[in-house]
């Protein structure tokens, strides 16, 4: 497949054999997933299209059953659907069960819905990319602070635990959600030091934080996370915001002004997407080419 086909993923006209994949969310207009998957599908010469679908939470089950009825290959899910998809699945991958959230669904020809979570893989794969960080982070000896306790946070925390992190604090505006997240994970990771916290400035252990991860939507519309007082972070801390649009959120901008190393969510988007892509197509996504194209778009 030529580079021309990659640059213009819609050179092939859909026909009666075109298979559909997609992403659902509320909202979903910010997503870069179609720009991630469609060029990769074109590059590999696959007669498939990836579309974005705005699905209101009240219509989630109707939409999912409709996807199965029309023979879709599968779909991704973003906020607020990741946890709500769990009871709709016919089969759950063990990692998705531990996380308690689904971000990737594969649909069998008979309509069987198989739920996976590739967020954990995507988060860690991006964190371990040697070309994006000045030096690798030793998670086994690091103190991690995760902001947020939703479906994305669950994937991030499990990814950290699977990668060997043993000291993680989860801070949320509704402390009960952070407490529930940790209560759900303790039986699976009894050796881990997991702490729920309220998302309040005087409660955040910033002075001892080696890795700060934002999993909330704050920053998507240019909002600041005022409770994070950057001067309190160690000079060696890494600030990781899983938001990928805008490319530099107010949190990352403030961290850079403090001289800290930062990482946005583009790498996580690409790596979690590549895992989903392989589940749907049985082929490897051309990650390097996709990254180059997305960086051009951003």
Q: Tens digits of per-residue pLDDT, 206-215? A: 999 999 999 9
- Whole-model pTM: value is 0.86
Verify that 19 and 96 share a domain, yes or no: yes
251 and 139, same structural domain? Answer: yes
My answer on whether 250 and 293 are in the same domain is no
Looking at the structure, do residues 10 and 42 belong to the same domain, yes or no?
yes
| Catalytic choice (82, 247, 256, 284) | 82
Residues 159, 223 within the same domain? yes
Band the pLDDT of 130: cuts 50, 70, 90: low
What residues make up the domain containing 206? 121-264
Regarding whether 234 and 125 lie in a shared domain, the answer is yes
User: What number is the average pLDDT over the span 260-278?
Assistant: 94
Query: Is 82 part of the annotated catalytic residue set?
Result: yes
Q: Are residues 88 and 175 in the same domain?
A: no
Separation CA 110–CA 125 (nearest Å)? 33
- Identify whether residues 85 and 129 lie together within a single domain: no
pLDDT digits (tens, 9 = 90+) for 243-268: 887 788 999 999 999 999 999 999 99
Helix (H) or strand (E) holding 214: strand 211-214
Q: Which of 123-127, 129-133, 158-162, 263-267 is the least confident region?
A: 129-133
**255 and 130 in one domain?**
yes
Q: 62 with 193, same domain?
A: no
Chain centroid offset of residue 120 CA? 7
Number of structural domains in the chain = 2
Closest C-alpha among 169, 162, 179 to residue 143: 169
Q: Which residue has the higher pLDDT, 13 or 86?
A: 86
Kindly state the percentage of the chain with pLDDT values over 90. Answer: 75
**Same domain, yes or no, for 128 and 45?**
no
Q: What is the CATH number of the domain that holds 83?
A: 3.40.50.10860
Please report, in angstroms and rounded to a whole number, the separation of the first and last CA atoms in the chain: 24
Please tell me whether residues 232 and 247 are part of one structural domain. yes
Phi/psi for 61 (5° steps) reads: -60, -40
* Contact residues for 163 (Cβ-Cβ < 8 A; gap 6+): 124, 127, 128, 139
- CATH number where 131 lies: 3.40.50.720
């Amino acid at each position: 497949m030529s580079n021309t086909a990659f640059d213009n993923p819609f050179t092939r006209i859909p026909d009666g054999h075109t298979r559909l994949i997609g992403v659902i969310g509320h909202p979903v207009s910010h997503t870069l997933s179609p720009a991630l998957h469609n060029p990769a599908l074109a590059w590999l010469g696959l007669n498939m299209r990836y579309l974005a679908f705005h699905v209101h939470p009240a219509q989630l089950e109707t939409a999912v059953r409709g996807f199965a009825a029309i023979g879709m290959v599968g779909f991704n899910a973003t906020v607020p659907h990741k946890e709500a998809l769990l009871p709709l699945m016919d089969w759950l991958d063990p990692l998705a069960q531990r996380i308690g959230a689904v971000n990737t669904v594969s649909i069998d020809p008979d309509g069987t819905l198989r739920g996976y979570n590739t967020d954990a893989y995507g988060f860690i794969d991006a964190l371990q990319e040697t070309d994006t960080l000045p030096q690798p982070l030793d998670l086994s000896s690091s103190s991690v602070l995760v902001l947020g306790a939703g479906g994305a946070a669950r994937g991030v925390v499990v990814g950290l635990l699977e990668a060997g992190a043993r000291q993680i604090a989860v801070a949320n505006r509704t402390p009960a959600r952070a407490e529930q997240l940790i209560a759900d994970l303790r039986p699976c990771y009894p050796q881990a030091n997991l702490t729920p916290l309220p998302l309040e400035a005087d409660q955040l252990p910033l002075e001892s934080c080696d890795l700060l991860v934002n999993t909330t939507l704050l920053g998507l519309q240019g909002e600041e996370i005022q409770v994070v007082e950057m001067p309190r972070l160690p000079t060696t801390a890494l600030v990781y915001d899983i938001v990928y649009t805008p490319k530099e959120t107010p949190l990352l901008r403030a961290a850079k002004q403090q001289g800290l190393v930062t990482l946005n969510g583009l790498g996580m988007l690409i790596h979690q997407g590549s895992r989903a892509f392989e589940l749907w197509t049985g082929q490897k996504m051309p990650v390097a080419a996709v990254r180059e194209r997305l960086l051009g778009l951003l």
